[in-house]
Chains A and B, each alone.
Chain A
Amino acid sequence: MDFAIRMTEVSKFYGAHRAVEGISLTVAPGELVGIVGPDGAGKTTLARLAAGVMAPTSGRVEPESRGRVGYLSGRFSLYPELTVLENLTFFAKIYGMGAAQAAEASERLLDWVGLLPFKARLAGALSGGMRQKLALATAVIHRPPTLILDEPTTAVDPVARVDFWKLLREQARQGCAVLVTTPYMDEAENCDRVVLLHQGRILSAGPAQELRGRLPFRMALLTPAGHAPQRRGDMTAAASGLSGLHWAIPLGAGVRVALEPGAPLSAPAGYTLQEVPANLEDAYIWLSGAAEEVQAG
């Protein structure tokens, strides 16, 4: 298989602490791959290893040609006292472009990320979402065939996040291999393939739809009928009486439950029980073996 990044049995230890272990992963040109897991799962270590900014304790990371990787860490280094345009031309020159070429590339990328109207604004005065887009532009100004982003959308609002993911998709469509980490399961739906990371190991990998399909339960939402306010303790108690229940997670409006596939969707008196589509978090709870602990609360 043609690949832009290939990691084979890669492990990284900090002293006795295992950050990641036994990671085998490839990303093909044109593919958008998401590494998803909670804080502490090893996402940042994996991104650094893939970008070649850190060497593994064991295993192999290919290719070795590092100059051609775009890498965006959680803390972008933009220059707040330079303008948007100056930030870009600065990075263009670092990558060895001449003045004319740097100016052309900067304008083109600002247009692409939608920041052309703000090119004279100081980077320090940008909103979070705009800053992220500018950082993305700086990371791809040298047209890298591989782009690695570590939690690029943390603390970015949903509207700006939708825009940002569109830009990542466009990069992939142009043939770039894109690897993104995120702690948010819902974001992973934007990826061609999702790698669920759990305590430093790959729990499962595949298209989001396929991962959701591995959940052997039907998900449903138990909500009080009508609009009568309900004590949460009562709602949880009602959920625990459902037949074929595997776990129940209280939400604001009701309780999200995982039921045996053959279990009836019959709600106790005063409640409605409605089947809902499974999401990646449900799959994660099941695949990580956390179901019992989640149920215990």
Chain B
Amino acid sequence: MSNAIETRDLTRHFGQFTAVDSVSLVVPEGCVMGLLGANGAGKTTLIRMLLGSLAPTGGSGRVLGHDLLTDAESIRQKVGYMSQRFSLYHDLTVEENLIFYGKVYGLKGIGLSARKDELLAWAGLGEQRKLVTGELGGGLRQRLAFACAILHRPSLLLLDEATSGVDPVSRRKFWDLIYGLSDGGTTVLVTTHYMDEAEHCDRLAMMNAGKLVAMGTPADLRAQYAGGGGLDQVFVNLAKR
């Protein structure tokens, strides 16, 4: 299995301030990787570099086989992004949102129409296709936003605080979709402040003050940093260092 992300001493300065400090990170293809850290720990800056939207000031790395320093444009075309405040058009129908975002990604005609139908079925939104998006419940809206984020079949997907706040049934369905993509080879980066969300990840990387301070499976981190206690405790213990 090859690696979707490999960085070596990746660094980003903003003037005197070091936002990301010598991060060496390896994420295997198909992995669901949770990136954790306090506000200001450097997660967003690291992610922006990994997605090819911010140039590093030091270090090197390859993402999806492309060099971060010289070929960021190729990376950008292969990534998908969904944030906590997913931007759907509430006055458009479910179907119209998919069509709109499909056109943004350059899909058209029969290709767009087929992809739209495929994703409606995938997300379990077939019956709601004609409903106005503003009338959907939180869980369905989340799945629609997810479908919009993967219209262009990204190989690397970022879910930025996008996984929480819904009921247990919706959450189960949402993670089933994530796991399905992961089993199909899509690499998924998840940021969250909630440790029961972090438990859903294959591996976790914890950042503090720009540095990568711990990496491993949720069980490994609990054993190593919290004496078998909860991930919340892991987080607090690592942030104190």
Contacts and interface: CB of A to CB of B under 8 A. Distances in A.
Contact of B175 (A37, A128, A157, A250): A250
Contacts of A158: 38, 193, 195, 232, 235-236, 239
Interface stretch (B47-55, B67-75, B176-184): B176-184
Given A159-B38, A162-B236, A250-B175, A183 B169 contact: no
Contacts of A156: 39, 193
Interface stretch (B2-10, B86-94, B145-153, B199-207): B199-207
B171 to A, nearest CB: 8
Q: Which of B32, B84, B193, B199 has the most CB of A within 10 A?
A: B193
A281 B164 CA distance: 13
A251 B239 contact: no
Given A158-B232, A184-B194, A186-B194, A249 B32 contact: no
Contacts of B127: none
Interface string A232-255: 110000000000000001111100
B173 interface: yes
B121 interface: no
Given A251-B199, A281-B168, A297-B172, A159 B239 contact: yes
B65 interface: no
A183 B165 contact: yes
A40 B235 CA distance: 29
A204 to B, nearest CB: 14
Contact of A38 (B84, B167, B203): B167
Contact of A297 (B32, B34, B173, B232): B173
B37 interface: yes
Contacts of B169: 290, 293-294
A186 B232 contact: yes
Contacts of B239: 158-159
A120 B84 CA distance: 32
B170 interface: yes
Given A129-B39, A253-B219, A297 B137 contact: no
A44 B41 CA distance: 30
B38 A281 contact: no
Contact of B164 (A183, A249, A279, A293): A183
A160 interface: yes
B134 interface: no
A162 B84 CA distance: 22
Interface residues of B, number: 42
B193 A252 contact: no
A252 B39 contact: no
Contacts of B170: 38
Given A250-B176, A252-B218, A281 B196 contact: yes
B195 A38 contact: no
A11 to B, nearest CB: 20
B96 interface: no
B32 A127 contact: no
B199 A252 contact: yes
B60 interface: no
B126 interface: no
A294 B172 contact: yes
A249 B182 contact: no
A39 B165 contact: yes
B38 A160 contact: yes
B59 to A, nearest CB: 25
A185 B196 contact: yes
B179 A232 contact: yes
Contacts of A288: 167-168
Instruction: Report the 10 A-B pairs with minimum CB-CB distance, sorted nearest first.
Output: A38-B167, A39-B138, A157-B38, A252-B201, A158-B235, A39-B165, A159-B239, A183-B165, A252-B202, A293-B169
21 contacts: A154-B165, A155-B84, A158-B195, A159-B239, A160-B39, A162-B236, A186-B232, A223-B219, A231-B183, A233-B183, A249-B172, A252-B32, A252-B218, A253-B218, A281-B168, A290-B169, A294-B168, A294-B169, A294-B172, A297-B172, A297-B173
Interface of A: 37-41, 127-129, 154-162, 183-186, 198, 223, 231-233, 249-253, 279, 281, 284-285, 288, 290, 293-294, 297
Given A160-B39, A250-B175, 18 more contacts: A40-B138, A40-B167, A155-B161, A155-B193, A158-B38, A158-B193, A158-B195, A158-B232, A158-B239, A183-B164, A183-B165, A184-B164, A232-B183, A252-B199, A252-B200, A252-B201, A288-B167, A297-B173
